[in-house]
Amino acid sequence: MSVTLPTIAILGAGSMGGAILSGLKSPDVTVSGGIRVTNRTAEKAAALQGGIVTSLATADDAEANLKAVSGARIVLIGVKPHMVPDLLVEIAPALEPDAIVVSVAAGVRIDTMEALVAGSVLRAMPNTPAIVGRGVTGIAAGTRSSAEDSALVRALFETVGVVLEVPESKIDAVSAISGSGPAYVFYLIEQLTATAIKLGFAPDEAALMVNTTFLGSAELLVSSGLPPAELRRQVTSPKGTTERAIAEFEKADFTATFDRGTAAALARAAELATGQ
């Protein structure tokens, strides 16, 4: 499905900004007016230059961010959370009257950003599978954002996956579940791989088994339309080997472990909101 988006600026094209940039460069996406991106170093900027992308280095040009946002309808803020306020103060005079500022920084609240820029502000929380077009992004609109603004931001993030619109009160929870979620999955893969190696498999054999098992299981979950509990039941024969393993996992109380982990992530988001 093709999509046309207005001129976009990405300030801080790191891992997440770079993932979104990859989606915008898809043949199915047209960005009228092109894309402007900024990075700190000339080396990073040069790697992104070309085609519809104008890439600028802030180390070489003190006005790089101002040049990037001039004429841009969507301004994506991809810098570290503690850098967001200063960046917004810097670019505020150069923003177009109809510019939509979208931050992907964890913990930086909409009211904080709305106090620094005059127009529409939204928060977005994508995750790293956006790099392969399988991302999940939560978006929350600010008090000055119109339905059209939200629709444009949704269309932007749909170039790299699926989008869930939520109130800002839930955006930190989105971060704790889908934003951090890939790390939880990779941690489980890491641990199961280590166990396979302890059982005598070579690292490449262990990786093949575990990685393919996770990939195949995820694809089965999506294609079957069944809830994960039912798919687990189908694998777990009564009095069989899987049942024994699941019993040990239940003794470890995985539910409580995940509850504590996500609570810790939410607490950290609250700390970031206060600048800690």
CA-CA distance, 1 to 28, in Å (whole number)?
Answer: 7
User: What residue type is assigned to position 240 of the chain?
Assistant: G
Q: State how far the alpha carbon of 265 is from the alpha carbons of 111, 170, 179, in Å.
A: 21, 13, 10
pTM of the predicted protein model? 0.89
Residue 270, pLDDT score:
82
Residue 276, pLDDT score:
65
Regions in the chain scoring below 70 on pLDDT: 1, 276
Residue 106, pLDDT score:
86
pLDDT tens, position by position, 67-83: 999 999 999 999 988 89
Residue 121, pLDDT score:
97
DSSP per-residue letters across 178-240: IITHHHHHHHHHHHHHHHHHHTT--HHHHHHHHHHHHHHHHHHHHHH---HHHHHHHH--TTS
Residue 171, pLDDT score:
93
CA-CA distance, 211 to 219, in Å (whole number)?
Answer: 12
Nearest to 15 by CA among 135, 164, 158: 135
Q: Which domains does the chain have, with CATH numbers?
A: 3-174 (3.40.50.720), 181-272 (1.10.3730.10)
DSSP per-residue letters across the chain: --EEE--EEEES-SHHHHHHHHHHTSTTEEETT-EEEEESSHHHHHHH-BTTEEEEETTT-TTHHHHHHTT-SEEEE-S-GGGHHHHHHHHGGGS-TT-EEEE--TT--HHHHHTT-SSEEEEEE--GGGGGT-EEEEEEE-TT--HHHHHHHHHHHGGGEEEEE--GGGHHHHIIIIITHHHHHHHHHHHHHHHHHHTT--HHHHHHHHHHHHHHHHHHHHHH---HHHHHHHH--TTSHHHHHHHHHHHTTHHHHHHHHHHHHHHHHHHHHTT-
Residue 167, pLDDT score:
96
Residue 96, pLDDT score:
95
